[in-house]
Amino acid sequence: MRGFLTLFFKEVLRFWKVSLQTVLAPLISTLLYLLVFSHVMADHAEVYPGVSYAAFLVPGLAMMSMLQNAFANSSSSLVQSKVTGNLVFVLLTPLSHWEFYWAYVLAAVVRGVLVGSVVVLTAWFFFPIPGKAPLWIMVFALLATIMSGSLGVLAGIWAEKFDQMAAWQNFIVLPLTFLSGAFYSIHSLPSFWNALSRFNPFFYVIDGFRYGFLGGSDVSPWESLLIVGSACLALSWTTLALLRSGWRLRT
């Protein structure tokens, strides 16, 4: 247990030591999105009745930054350790693949939730939003960051160079987060794009997370929970199996 806790704390300490880059920078960029979009879209029709566009946007943007930062934490730590070679310090230890996996994923959860909390709290000063179902907020925050942190571990195992990691970030994570209903309701999309969005697990975490704040969503939070939970299980199982095999880590 101590080995796992050490790796977990080390991973938390690693991002905390550069918190300007890992916490403050995402906060600033998310707030800029919020200020610009809420201003531009202020005169447009309400997405949900009685809910301002800014109130609609805050949970979506907060979740988007949580997803991106949880992914960035585990993936960048792993790929950096692989490229510089210091992953050897972890590989030489008796840590099991379970301990390895959960230490990286839970550190990603900490960073994701921290960034999301700071975004929501800061945004609340400008655009007070309700928190109608706090339990749903917590459940989706946790599942989303576990899912994204797992995806980051998976990408970190696979990638052997920084440009390979950038490809994951730019061609997978960024499109999935931007095309997930963070800025719009999928009901406003043409039927093809609406149907396509339903294959994006990031849509369900954003929708379920938004339900926790606003009490309204595009699909039922239970449906989102089922899909996000299944995605978490599938990703965890795949990543654990790869870690156990030593693929791309132990030659």
**Helices 53-84 and 97-126: crossing angle, nearest 10°?**
150
Q: Does residue 85 bind another protein (CB under 8 A)?
A: yes
CB nearer to another protein: give 95 or 196: 95
Q: Does residue 90 bind another protein (CB under 8 A)?
A: yes
CA atoms 23, 237, 8, 109: torsion sign:
positive
CB nearer to another protein: give 100 or 136: 100
Q: Does residue 45 bind another protein (CB under 8 A)?
A: no
Integer Cα distance of 146 and 95 in angstroms: 20
- For another protein, which stretch binds (CB under 8 A), given 27-35, 93-101, 207-215, 227-235? 93-101
Q: What is the DSSP string of 173-242?
A: IHHHHHTSSSSS-GGGS-HHHHHHHTT-HHHHHHHHHHHHHHS--SS-HHHHHHHHHHHHHHHHHHHHHH
Contact between 62 and 116 under an 8 Å Cβ cutoff? The reply is: yes
Q: Does residue 246 bind another protein (CB under 8 A)?
A: yes
Q: Does residue 13 bind another protein (CB under 8 A)?
A: yes
Task: Compute the least distance from the CB of residue 250 to another protein, in Å.
Answer: 6
Task: Compute the least distance from the CB of residue 14 to another protein, in Å.
Answer: 5
Give the footprint of another protein on this chain (CB under 8 A).
1-3, 5-7, 9-10, 13-14, 17-18, 81, 84-86, 88-96, 246, 250-251
